[in-house]
Structure 1
Amino acid sequence: MNSPVHLVGRVGTTLRAVATHEPGGATTSEVARTAGLSRPTVHRLLTSMLEEGLTDRTREGRWLLGPELYLLGTSAATRYDVTELAHSVVRHLAIATGESAFFSARRGNETVCLLREDGSHPIRSHVLHEGIRFPLGVASAGLVILAHLPDPEVEDHLARARLEDTYGELHASDRVRERIAQTRVSGYALNPGLLVAGSWGMGAAVFDEDGRPAWALSITGIEHRFSEDRRAELGTLLLDSAHRLTGDVGRRRDRARTRTPRSRA
């Protein structure tokens, strides 16, 4: 991981590292490892942010995101939060497929899982959970978002991220490019057990008002439930659901633009 050199970058990296360990929290050493920063630097940052309410700490000394972040997030939700729109779509995917369904958001060069809804199938994949982050190109949500970006952005990301260093040779740039090409043909991404053997996933992109891939819907389950015939059916369902959610997002923003402030008497 390339560690940021400026203070704001290190604060952001540290907070994102803490977020990956929610809700159980993490020790200072665990946060430092995740952030790619030295332990003394992370301890200073966490302690300073504790005073501002940006972090919190349990009696056992484990770090958590702080209450001030919740308040700030609530204020920003009207502009950025589309999970309210996504809830019904994710629930429908879980019911219709029987698999675990997810909604993830792009944040820079990562995806963050925001929603999870388990289906009726008794054997479930636990690769994804709310709050987990992956680089673009990893897991079906990150792959489908990366596949819908322009080639120069794809190549820049692959050169910087070096996914194989963390996720193994199956995530080497050439292998990711192959999966991107397949995704661009089918419209949906397939993760054939690349993170955990036997745990398969599929994803479809949801677009913002500028036609950029900003979110993704995905499903995960065990390998035998993703036969070739069923993948075609699941892919169609994912793409239809993503198209519906893209439309819902666009309509909500159109309504927001047409609202005019009340004139003052």
Structure 2
Amino acid sequence: MSEGPSVVGRSAALLRELSRHTADGATTTTAARGAGVPRATAHRLLEALAVEGLVDRDARTGHWFLGPEIYVLGRAATARYDVTEEARSSVLRLARETGESAFFSVRRADEVVVLLREDGDFPIRSYVLYEGARFPLGTVSAGIAVLAHLPDAEVDAYLARADLVGRWGREFSDDAVRGRLAATREDGWSLNPGLIVEGSWGMAAAVFTASGTPEYALTITGIEPRFRRERQAALGRLLLEETHRLTRSMR
């Protein structure tokens, strides 16, 4: 019985890793490394998942992709979990009113996942975020906004287990992250000043469930000159207006 959760957990980690490689797929080695699974174990589990249709392997490249059964299961779960229709109008308004790219993301465990994207009319865009992109809490602006509104004990536990510096660099030391969380709590919205890709800035605000949990976020991203200090306050107000509206709608 003790092997069950381990197998399920490792399989789930592999599926999540493949969701990060929707365009070109992932090799067995890449999937194993990203999921934190030994390569031989990853290969065995991926082969088993392929039999069930949960993953698919390209015969030419050998790369792994999410399989057709994932699509079927996702469609079946839509009625219970799909909140994108509620959020779509907010994302559209943000894109239209700011001219930037706007996003709606959801928290999943220690990550935020982008569900919606809408581009504004400003011709130069940032492509760090895209639908399906996953980032750890505390990195992109959506993850900063969500983490900032979690209880201090949860923040402490997360930072203790997340190796943000090892993966993302010294800008994500505990002190640096905590400083951004404090600023977010004060302002209501988060700021990512080109931390992931130089020159690509983002701002976000959390959307709360009926129980007061920061489960979602609205984000706007663009190039650095569009996020000068004198414009941040106006962008922040728009974000907070939409997140308040969306929080009320979801409740």
What is the TM-score with the length of structure 2 in the denominator? 0.95
Residue in 2 aligned with 1:203?
204
- 1:45 partner amino acid: L
Residue 219 (1) aligns with residue 245 (2): no
Amino acid at match of 1:58: D
C-alpha distance in structure 1 between counterparts of 2:36 and 2:142, whole Å: 24
1:134 has 2:135 as partner? yes
Match of 2:121 in 1: 120
1:43 match: secondary structure: helix
Partner in structure 2 of residue 50 of structure 1: 50
**What code does the residue aligned with 2:15 have?**
L
Q: Is the 8 A contact 1:162 1:173 kept in 2?
A: no
Distance in 2 between residues matched to 1:219 and 1:41, nearest whole Å: 40
Q: CA deviation at 1:59?
A: 2.7
2: distance between equivalents of 1:78 and 1:248?
Answer: 17
- Runs (4 or more) in structure 1 with deviation over 6 Å come to none
Give the deviation of 1:245 after TM superposition.
1.1
Query: Matches of 1:189 and 1:37 in 2, distance apart?
Result: 33
Contact 1:190 1:202 in 2 (8 A): yes
CA distance in 2, matches of 1:143, 1:150: 13
Q: Deviation digits for residues 168-214 of structure 1, max 9, x if unmatched?
A: 11000010000000000000000001111111000010111111000
* Gaps in structure 1 of 5+ consecutive residues: 251-265
Counterpart of 1:95 in structure 2: which amino acid? R
Q: Does 1:28 align with 2:28?
A: yes
Partners of 1:203 and 1:214 in 2: how far apart?
A: 13
Residue equivalent to 2:74: 73
Partner of 2:19: 19
1:23 deviates by 3.0
Distance 2:51 2:210 in 1: 38
Matched, 1:192 2:190: no
Unaligned stretches of 5+ in structure 2? none
Structure 2 partner of 1:230:
231
Q: Report the Cα offset of residue 69 of structure 1.
A: 1.3
Q: CA deviation at 1:96?
A: 0.8
Per the normalisation by structure 1, the TM-score is 0.90
Q: Which residue of 2 aligns with 1:255?
A: none
Aligned 1:45-194 pairs, distance under 5 A: 45-60=45-60, 61-194=62-195
Structure 2 residue aligned with 1:263? none
How well do the aligned residues superpose, as a CA RMSD in angstroms? Answer: 1.1
Indicate the percent of aligned positions where both proteins have the same amino acid. 57
Deviates more, 1:129-138 or 1:58-67: 58-67
Task: Name the CA distance, whole Å, in 1 between partners of 2:66 and 2:215.
Answer: 24
Comparing 25-34 with 93-102, greater Cα deviation is found at 25-34
1:7 aligns with 2:46: no
> Amino acid of the residue matched to residue 235 of structure 2?
L
